[in-house]
Chains A and B, each alone.
Chain A
Amino acid sequence: MASLRDSALRKIQTIGPRFLPFADVATEAVPLSRLLRLSLFQVTVGMALVLLVGTLNRVMIVELGVPATLVGVMIALPLVFAPFRALIGYKSDTHRSALGWRRVPYIWRGTMLQFGGFAVMPFALLVLSGYDQAADAPIWIGHSAAALAFLLVGAGIHTVQTVGLALATDLVGVEEQPKVVGLMYVMLLLGMIGAALIFGWLLEPYTPGRLIQVVQGAAVITVALNLIALWKQEPRDRARAANVQTQPEFRDAWRLFVQGRSAVGLLVVIALGTMGFGMADVVLEPYGGQVLNMAVGATTRLTAVLAAGGLLGFAIASRVLLNGVAPVQVAWWGTLIGLPAFALIIAAGPLEVVTLFVIGTGLAGLGAGLFGHGTLTATMRAAPRAQVGLALGAWGAVQATAAGIAVGLGGVIRDVIAALPAAPSMRPEAPYTPVFALELAFLIATVAVLVALRHREAGLFQTTHYHQRQGRPERPTAYIDPQPRERRPTGEEPHDDSRLTAL
């Protein structure tokens, strides 16, 4: 018996830490395959976004007969958590773990939240719609359960994306960041497109049972993909685990962060630009259908044109950024492309030229792609190594809030104008033109802020030439570097620190 036990134990011993979820050493160069695997978390985020904003939006209104206002409130709920992204990022920066982990615990918790939300969501929605005997149940059960499900998914998305991006930033060196940002955006877009097509196909024909299968399937896929994405990504760090020091309060960390070069200016640019590009999302298709009389299939292809423009934007941005062009410069180009894009879209209505509209849509996608890539890369690059989570949390908080408000505002403006008593006598483009004009105004404001930034910090727009290949930026061992970048007197920046000039 004893020998059996011994041999069994010896067998187990050979397994060793191969089956534990951490990378044993911090490797110098992370291969593309590993980054590709990590980017799977963006697929789950994209899938969740499509499910909330697209698929379930439709199912709740059309199939379940839930009032549209209630649906709107439910879908807007996850937005409540968006500003907390900065806090989540800060928490992960300062997380204390025996393993020296900072990111994995948060991504794991976020995944559990997302999973939990999707697991109860179909039942919550069925109760909400009064399915079967739920009609006799008190109404608050359905309301609170559905709200809880949406909140859980929202909190999960925000956590996973913020900390996931922080982990990606941790793993790669500065000159590889554009590649990672491109990868993350492309995977998000692919996740959204794939999920939209697959969910649409699976829910046809709709039955309550099918709804449960699809949403719970999404929950399982979320956990599976995120586990694959996380496995052996973040190295174990005994030095960090042993280095127990007092961490700064959130307020102090935030103060340190906003002291950084143009941190606030960049956030303002992100907010304005995201509002500018984001508002069109929900009104482009009805504009094409109602004003330009495009068929349903043609308006769907419009979304494809927008996405293709975005993909092209990501590709171009990755390429030029790898050649050393400053990220803010790329964002600047994106904003400038957005101006004629929305001008073309506005002009297409009265002129009734579909081609102009399609070109405008493609350009809007291209501009949004360049802008998004440029601003995220700029955020990553500007982030002090010890505050990566906080910086990306701030980016996400601003970006997600602005995008949510933009989409909501776009829809509301259109609906309000279309509901005016004078609406029937107005031209068909009347409800849409103000939306596009407002986007144009936001983009002009973005340009203005960028010009002001350029005026103040010319270095922000400078192209960097990676003459000699740089090593990985050193890993932070203490919370505050001996000479934090943001405290260095400006004008005396060391020439070897290309991160500064690259910014």
Chain B
Amino acid sequence: MSNDPDKVWPTGLTLKEAEEVHSYLIDGTRVFGAIALLAHVLVAVSTPWLG
């Protein structure tokens, strides 16, 4: 395994690089969540469920 404390294996990325790749995933999830929330609100306006 890697001995370089700055490297994240198995990819050989540096910590910063790995964090950046991860941040795209996190941002994507947040946007996805916000969009889903908005879509649910709009659906509830036109066809309300749960009473």
Contact = CB atoms under 8 A, between A and B. Distances in A.
Task: Find the residue from A20, A120, A133 having the highest chain B CB count within 10 A.
Answer: A120
A424 interface: no
Contact of A112 (B16, B28, B36, B38): B28
A16 B10 contact: yes
Interface in A67-102: 97-99
A137 B21 CA distance: 42
B11 interface: yes
B1 A9 contact: yes
B26 interface: no
Task: Find the residue from A14, A99, A145 having the highest chain B CB count within 10 A.
Answer: A99
Contacts of B11: 16-17, 20
A258 interface: no
B31 interface: yes
Given A116-B31, A119-B35, A98 B46 contact: no
B45 interface: yes
B21 A15 contact: no
Which bracket fits the contact residues of A? 20 to 34
Contact of B20 (A12, A97, A109): A97
A148 B17 CA distance: 33
A236 B18 CA distance: 12
B10 A145 contact: no
B19 A98 contact: yes
Interface of B: 1, 9-14, 16-17, 19-21, 24, 27-28, 31-32, 34-36, 38-39, 42-43, 45-48
Given A17-B13, A127-B46, 11 more contacts: A15-B10, A16-B12, A17-B11, A21-B21, A98-B19, A99-B17, A115-B35, A116-B32, A127-B42, A145-B38, A236-B17
Interface of A: 9, 12-17, 20-21, 97-99, 105, 108-109, 112, 115-116, 119-120, 123-124, 126-127, 131-134, 137, 141, 145, 148, 236, 241
